Amino acid sequence: MAYIANTPDDVRVMLDAIGLDSIEQLFDMIPREYRLDRPLNVAPALTEFELTSRIGGLLALNQGADQRVCFLGAGSYDHFIPAVVDALASRGEFYTAYTPYQPEASQGTLQATFEYQTLITQITGMDVSNASLYDGGSAVTEAALMALAVTRRFGRIVVAGSVHPEYRQILATYLEHLDPEVVTVPSVDGKVDPKAIAEAITADTAAVVIQQPNFFGELEDVEAVAKAAHEKGATVIVSVDPISLGLLRRPDTYGADVVVAEGQGLGNPMSFGGPYLGILACRQEYLRKMPGRIVGETTDRNGKRCWVLTLQTREQHIRREKATSNICTNQGLLALRASIYLAAMGPRGLREAAELSTRKAHYAAEVLGAVKGLMLAFSGPFFKEFVIRCSKDPRDLLAEVGKLGYHGGVWLGRWYPEMADCILVAVTEKRSRAEIDGLAAAYQRALESI
């Protein structure tokens, strides 16, 4: 069965339209040494039964968070998801709903999104939230682009080296061919020095980006960073762990202008890395430069409460030259799950999840730090993640710990060469004392066996 519907005649018509003689000419700009000069090494076709059996066997090789005890973190966390989240989010009217391109006909979707925006402003302390973005990395980047538009400064974006490295990579990619320079201030002992941040801020700096808690789980002196940024007229962008807001100060209290986050921990499974949920909220004065879409409440001609999609300055709309972003949709289903999660947990439940994660993480740090061959890398206060240094290759240790039934953490050498002997360990409210003790015993066995 042919899956490419274009006939030779179709191909000829298209080539004529663009003034080419052959498909090969489309690839003339690619150097010949980078082109494949042989047929693809594709195995003979399988029957449907053979194919499903093969795929099933490959899937069985995965060891997800439900097959091993999970201590993975770095932006993706094994938090508890109340059953009500799946029960409501899987209803047909929600599960099949896509971006409302005729929005006013989708009142249920708009109302759910409006509730999401309300909940996000409540936990962040910001004045307004958009209807969500793609993930935490895109949220950081969109916030930086918004800061450029608000401040009209195009010299640099100052970023703490303790911000998630993949978020920084995404930001650098977006700005690579634009004027602003991305200036990274290295972290020292797991945190950035506010004085170093202040020294990096120039008169043409649009924004300072910092993470709280940071990528290593450490708590930054965000108030000092925000003060330094505001003294020089720069926007303060803070990337947060939304679960931490059940326990830590809200970003509005220490000077954040824009708050971004990865919302995966709010009722969304780890899902091998996605899809995830980008959160973005800001102060009122930034509203008209906010990327994406915003749902507003109004009344219809009969005075009945209703919802509309408003401030849609996106690239596919008529006034595309005034578009604030190329974000053309939002993670509606995942935002809905976050709304259900927050509504079900409430302030008390969110605080309890944050407190349990913190207490269990500190217990884990204590027992792992007592294992011969492991030591805590940093001594500062942390939330639910911490870094351990290993006397042996962390990759070998993680492989051995995995064989013993544990996702033991994330190797930091992939992003920080100077931390090639370090592992980032995350502990959520789901982990029991027995599981944490088991992880310590697994590391001990792994260190002895390597």
Beta bridge partners of 236: 208
Which of 7-21, 325-339, 342-356 tops mean pLDDT? 342-356
Mean pLDDT across the chain, nearest whole number?
A: 93
Burial class (CB within 10 angstroms; exposed 0-12, middle 13-18, buried 19+) of 373: middle
pLDDT at 321: 67
- pLDDT higher than 90, residue 316: no
- Regarding beta strands 278-282 and 258-262, do their DSSP bridges make them parallel or antiparallel, or are they unpaired? antiparallel
What pLDDT digit, counting tens, does each position of 100-116 carry?
A: 666 677 888 899 999 99
CB atoms within 10 A of CB 253: 11
Q: Residue 326: what pLDDT?
A: 73
Within 8 A by CB and 6+ apart from 69, the residues are: 405, 406, 407, 431, 435, 438, 439
* 63 pLDDT higher than 60: yes
CA nearest neighbour of 158 among 200, 126, 118: 200
- Confidence (pLDDT) at 318: 53
Q: Which of 27-41, 271-285, 336-350 has the lowest mean pLDDT?
A: 27-41
At 258 the pLDDT is 98
Q: Minimal CA–CA distance to 290: which of 324, 333, 266?
A: 324
Does the pLDDT value for residue 98 go beyond 90? no
List pLDDT tens digits, range 244-275: 999 999 999 999 999 999 999 999 999 999 99
pLDDT above 80 (res 314)? no
Q: Which of 116, 20, 92 is nearest to 342 (CA)?
A: 116
Q: From 398, 389, 393, 397, select the one nearest 189 (Cα to Cα).
A: 389
pLDDT in tens, 188-233: 999 999 999 999 999 999 999 999 999 999 999 999 999 999 999 9
Residue 120's nearest CA partner among 262, 270, 269 is 262
> What is the 3-state secondary structure of the chain?
CCCCCCCHHHHHHHHHHHCCCCHHHHHCCCCHHHCCCCCCCCCCCCCHHHHHHHHHHHHCCCCCCCCCEECCCCCCCCCCCCHHHHHHHCCHHHHCCCCCCCHHHCHHHHHHHHHHHHHHHHHHCCCEECCCECCHHHHHHHHHHHHHHHHCCCCEEEEECCCCHHHHHHHHHHHCCCCCEEEEECCECCECCHHHHHHHCCCCEEEEEEEECCCCCECCCHHHHHHHHHHCCCEEEEEECHHHHHCCCCHHHHCCCEEEEECCCCCCCCHHHCCCCEEEEECHHHHHHCCCCEEEEEECCCCCEEEEEECCCECCCCCHHHCCECCCCCCHHHHHHHHHHHHHHHHHHHHHHHHHHHHHHHHHHHHHHCCCCEEECCCCCECCEEEEEECCCHHHHHHHHHHCCEECCEEHHHCCHHHCCEEEEECCCCCCHHHHHHHHHHHHHHHHHC
Query: Most confidently modeled of 56-65, 234-243, 282-291?
Result: 234-243
Task: Kindly state the average pLDDT of the residues 371-379.
Answer: 97
Is residue 315 pLDDT above 50, yes or no? no
For the segment 172-186, what is each residue's pLDDT rounded down to a tens digit?
999 999 999 999 999
Query: What pLDDT shows up at residue 199?
Result: 98
pLDDT of residue 151: 97
Q: What's the pLDDT at 4?
A: 73
Which pLDDT does position 391 carry in this prediction? 97
C-beta separation of 237 from 144 below 8 A: yes
Percent of the chain with pLDDT over 90: 82
Mean pLDDT within 7-24? 93
